[in-house]
Amino acid sequence: MSDLWTRKRRVLVRGLSTLYYEAGEGPAVLLIPGIASDARNWFRVMGELATTHRVIALSLPGLGGTSPGVDVHPVTMAAFVADFLDVLEVPSVIAVGHSFGGGVAAELALDHPDRVSRLVLVNACGLGRAVHPIAIALALLPKRGADALSGVVSFPGGAGALALSSKLLLRQPWQIPPMTWKAQYVLARSRQSLRTSLEVFRACGGITGQRESILVIDRLREITVPSLVIWGGTDPLFPVWQGRDASRRLPKGRFTVLLGAGHVSYLDNHEEFMDALGPFVRDDLPGAPTPEPANTGRDQQ
């Protein structure tokens, strides 16, 4: 997708300068990235959905260009997202969240059910205790150590950390467009984004894995809108059985495994990802509420 088709915008949400990208018109789709990833990673997805929908890719506070200042717990982040939608005068969205963003999307559907008409969880956190040991190690870093690590990694030459994280999160890195690698490199040099990412690890994880306080698996039956769970079949961060279990607990849930894809499955296997997401977003699904048109008013400065 060309940058010419994507509008980069900022609005004030709770006094914080909030970055988002937008394309297309129609019912709203909200794309929420995980940590250590960038809203621009969604550009290929935006390009395909923008033919029928208004697609919004949001940078969460402290990550990828939005000012910090919000507690990083998924519940707090979901409340921020609801306020963001208020500023944009968007009544409801099809919420698509990846990894930590999936946990935020699930909390948005639980705590603000009128704001979510359909839900898509992509390799999402909060669906079980199990997590890769590296995530546990990062969660156990003391704050001072995390700050020091974010400083070292953001220095010139710290791109080795990008290569290491890519090896963990991706299974088919040759599938990733150059512009996405460029956005990831810039993000890896941002000390603020790295610091916030490590805060998320500490808030969401502990010695036994994902913290009880972020788990939503036992509350999924409260989400009554059509829901789709997409998982990379070789995700080393969160095991694939967590996604399968979540889809069975969602009253209107369905499950898709992307074979050969890792944690960032929408980049690893874009074509199959869109084969699953596209019809779910566009089709007239039984039991789905009719999307309300979004107000496309002017941005705040």
**CB atoms near residue 121 (< 10 Å):** 34
With contact defined as beta carbons under 8 Å apart, do 227 and 121 qualify? Answer: yes
| Per-residue model confidence as pLDDT tens digits over 211-265 | 999 999 999 999 999 999 999 999 999 999 999 999 999 999 999 999 989 898 9
| Per-residue model confidence as pLDDT tens digits over 93-120 | 999 999 999 999 999 999 999 999 999 9
* Helical (H) or strand (E) element with 143: helix 143-154
Q: d(Cα 122, Cα 228) in Å, to the nearest integer?
A: 8
With contact defined as beta carbons under 8 Å apart, do 294 and 91 qualify? Answer: yes
* pTM check: above 0.75: yes
| Per-residue model confidence as pLDDT tens digits over 154-212 | 444 444 444 444 555 655 655 666 665 455 555 555 567 778 888 888 889 999 999 99
